Structure 1
């Protein structure tokens, strides 16, 4: 999802590509990194014997993993292709190679080959879906109540709440924010899948810039623990 605006709303940035990121994941990642760095530096400076080495190995392992699952995930939707940056892989799908977008307990893009790729940057919020469903139900109920009142000759004096509910109902069912993002991706895919510039093959690349330091930290930590 894109970087959040003043209200924290998820939405596409005004750039060449639409960029989607999770503001909650970014905020959590920054907090975790701050804690890890604070504790790690404290152990490096104040620790004795093997503690500084253990702290260093732990930081080398933990920091890339935290970055991978919080700050790194992003979805880039361009005119010709969809680029999915997940924790340990980067998947590029020309729009012609996209078969569907699916939303259940996670949001996924399905390639023409049938392979599914999870969109880590667009997490599903079941709570937001339930909230949107409740608001839709209230809006529809308010709209029906307003219609009955008008049918009685306007004697019921409906309040502002009924008017707002009727307006919401007229706009259609309310949607959770990440579901709106998936709708935007579907619209862009449907508009561009047959474009000549949107043809090509799917490519998948492992994120060695994340895997290499994390593996090095894990190996160093294992050696230190084994020889302790």
Structure 2
């Protein structure tokens, strides 16, 4: 009697305790600030508003707050040895490393799957300004190293070094990179290391975030009804 072939493991859809989490600190700070402003205005309208104003304020808060949470507080990227879990505003995508074809970084950071699907990493946005700052720092460091290379050789730093405490740093040291570009570099390294592992195989799963979409849709319907009835 032939035993059934083992099925490829399906990665868990929920984050595990050992996951590494990447999130955008500026987005979180902006989201908290926006929620505070909306809450202050909305609660004031609920307390002192007249007629249908309190109901309209409640409906607007029900619509706006979930959207603020979705685009600022919610996005995150979870990684472990087996898979990449992307929590975007309205979807949760789980991609085993074996299904990742490439991680692309241009005007946005994206993961491409073996099937050709493309998913954006909302929690790791591209900052062209940060890239320009990193490039300028790298140019300054390289110019400084070239000016001091002779001095470093005389101090025992050896040829091909950058100036630094007690001698110098190798010129072959990794170039200065923007913070989010370093995160993508780490993801690429983990992908290259784990893509062939047996536990990193499986299928890509996508789940819609109904916990965000439901309240926002209810708020939108309530706003339309209140506006329609005048």
Q: What is the SS of the residue equivalent to 2:169?
A: helix
TM-score normalised per structure 1? 0.85
Determine the structure 2 residue equivalent to 1:194. Answer: 196
Q: Report the CA distance between 1:168 and its aligned residue.
A: 7.8
Take 2:171 and 2:152, find their aligned partners in 1: how far apart are those partners? 16
Determine the structure 1 residue equivalent to 2:99. Answer: 97
Give yes or no for contact 1:76–1:83 (8 Å, CA) kept in 2. yes
Alignment of 1:52-201 (within 5 A): 52-147=54-149, 163=164, 167=169, 169-201=171-203
36, 39, 53: which one aligns with 2:38 = 36
Q: What is the SS of the residue equivalent to 1:167?
A: strand
Say how many residue pairs are matched.
207
Report 1 or 2 for greater relative contact order, CA contacts < 8 Å, sequence distance ≥ 6: 2
Q: Report the CA distance between 1:170 and its aligned residue.
A: 4.7
Q: Report the CA distance between 1:61 and its aligned residue.
A: 0.1
Structure 2 residues without counterparts, runs of 5 or longer: 1-16, 156-161
Distance 1:114 1:44, change over 3 A: same
Q: Report the CA distance between 1:88 and its aligned residue.
A: 0.1
Superposition RMSD on alpha carbons, in Å?
Answer: 2.0
Structure having the larger proportion of residues in helix: 1
Structure 1 residues without counterparts, runs of 5 or longer: 1-14, 155-160
Give yes or no for contact 1:132–1:176 (8 Å, CA) kept in 2. yes
Distance 1:168 1:206, change over 3 A: farther
TM-score normalised per structure 2? 0.85
Q: Report the CA distance between 1:171 and its aligned residue.
A: 2.3
Take 1:130 and 1:105, find their aligned partners in 2: how far apart are those partners? 13
207, 210, 214: which one aligns with 1:208 = 210
Take 1:172 and 1:50, find their aligned partners in 2: how far apart are those partners? 61
